[in-house]
Amino acid sequence: MGRLFGTDGVRGVANAELTPELAFKLGKSGAHVLSKDKEKPVVLIGKDTRLSGDMLEDALSAGILAVGGNVIKVGVLPTPAIAYLVRAYKADAGVVISASHNPFEYNGIKFFNGDGFKLDDEIEDEIEDIILRDIDVNSHITGDKLGRCLEADDDAIDRYAEFLKSTLDVDIKGRKLVLDCANGAAYKVAEKVYSELGADITVIGNEPNGVNINDACGSTHPEKLQEEVVRQGAFLGLAYDGDADRLIAVDEKGRIIDGDKLICICAQMMKNRGELPGDLVTATVMSNIGFHKYVEGMGCKVEVTSVGDRYVLESMLKTGCNIGGEQSGHIIFRNHTTTGDGILSSLQLLQAVILSGKLPSELSDEIEIFPQVLKNARVKNENKGKFREDPEVEAAIAAAEKDLEGEGRVLIRPSGTEPLVRVMLEGQDVEKITEIAEKIAVLLTKKFG
């Protein structure tokens, strides 16, 4: 068995890679590591709408109960709801059963600590070590030392919805919106929040059947949302992914507003409202050069991190930054919560648009996103990092950067999961950057493949 934890928890094909046996072990070791000082740790569990969620929830719960932990099952709710509710319920840990934007046959298990933050690498390593070394952390306790399932003391969905509504400072009554819930975890709460705020909403992707999560819908497939926004003459379209921690928007013309643009629009609002400490915005190395130019044009600075929302948050906590995220639409509003939240992001976007007095398309058009080309160089796994020290590759990169003359960008990075080196170029001339990217990719494959 290789490393269990990836960039966002443990994932795999349900009942093949992510089995009930593994979920049971994750429950035991996770509860043990996260609650060492508690005789009866309380663990909150939520899930998305996948068919395999029930199986994994029961196995995970059994593992927690076996080490004397108590479990509160809150059912189908977004990942960020668990991050919020673990604090609201004063639980010792939270677990989400979801594979986010992946197809239904996959599932995942990710942990939050008692403060609502995803786990540090060191804690994940400790949980993983217990499982891989087959350490029995409970020594088969019996009798009244076993855990039990507790009832939530009130309706979790209501509590989370009230929190979301509290983050909005403008009136959205009568605003015509279309929501795409990806047949996933947001299918009840998103409609509830916007209905209670008085918006005029049409909801699609809100009929989950266990196998249709992310299927031609949601933030990774916004085509139906684009059509519906135009057909309805809506003000804005809002698409979430399977576990609702991401947002992709659609303007009134049916055009996509990606994560880079969403961050820019919301950061400008926050700067105007004095909510941007140090005039700082956080993004990953994959953010478009147009994003950087817009943020710098606001008089702000971009703090750049590695790819992955955990690294974005880690940087934000160090610098005090209040907004950061990724092109994918995973955006963290640190003044409101501890993780990406698609519904919260959509409320902040709507607020930013209304306060600007402009149409969504007008705000979107103020941000020039440069064309981006991505080519994969197939290399041997052991050679993925060697390009950094190769003079010929260094020279090719330097030549490409000189050729783009500050109006483009070259980014080369090894894949974290495949035997590939990814070659990404941005610039205004698509043919030119495609040709350069292909040449560098061929060179990398030739030398390291």
Give yes or no for residue 315 having a pLDDT over 60.
Answer: yes
Cα-Cα end-to-end distance for the chain: 26
Instruction: Give the predicted TM-score (pTM) of the model.
Output: 0.91
Residue 315 annotated as catalytic: no
What are the structural domains of the chain? 5-153 (3.40.120.10), 158-365 (3.40.120.10), 372-448 (3.30.310.50)
Q: Which amino acid is at 163?
A: F
Mapped onto helix, strand or coil, the DSSP state of residue 184 is coil
Instruction: State phi, psi for 81 to the nearest 5 degrees.
Output: -65, -40
d(CA 74, CA 83): 12
Q: How many Cα atoms occupy the beta-carbon half-sphere of 105 within 13 Å?
A: 3
Average pLDDT, the chain: 93
Which residue among the candidates 29, 100, 219, 364 is catalytic per the annotation?
Answer: 100
Question: Residue holding tokens 């786990």?
Answer: 119
pLDDT tens digits, one per residue of 215-251: 999 999 999 999 999 999 999 999 999 999 999 999 9
CA dihedral 384, 260, 160, 174 (to 10 degrees): -150
Regarding predicted confidence, which is higher, 195 or 408?
195
pLDDT at 217: 97
- Asked if residue 418 has pLDDT above 90, the reply is no
In the prediction, which pLDDT does 417 show? 66
What tokens were used for 122?
């060191």
Chain Cα centroid distance, residue 139: 37
Cα–Cα distance, 392 to 404 (Å, whole number)? 19
Mean pLDDT (whole number) for 328-332: 96
For residue range 423-445, what is the model confidence (pLDDT) as tens digits? Answer: 999 998 999 999 999 999 999 99
Q: What percent of the chain has pLDDT over 70?
A: 98
Strands of the sheet containing 236-240, edge to edge, are 200-204, 176-180, 236-240, 247-250, 256-257
Residue 2 has pLDDT above 80, yes or no: no
| Mean pLDDT, range 162-178, rounded to an integer | 98
Query: Is residue 14 a contact partner of residue 63, using CB atoms and an 8 Å limit?
Result: no
User: What are the strands, taking DSSP E only, across 273-392?
Assistant: 280-284, 301-305, 323-325, 331-333, 372-378
Residue owning tokens 């990942």: 79
Q: Is the pLDDT of residue 1 over 70?
A: no
Does residue 290 register a pLDDT over 70?
Answer: yes
Question: Does the pLDDT value for residue 36 go beyond 60?
Answer: yes
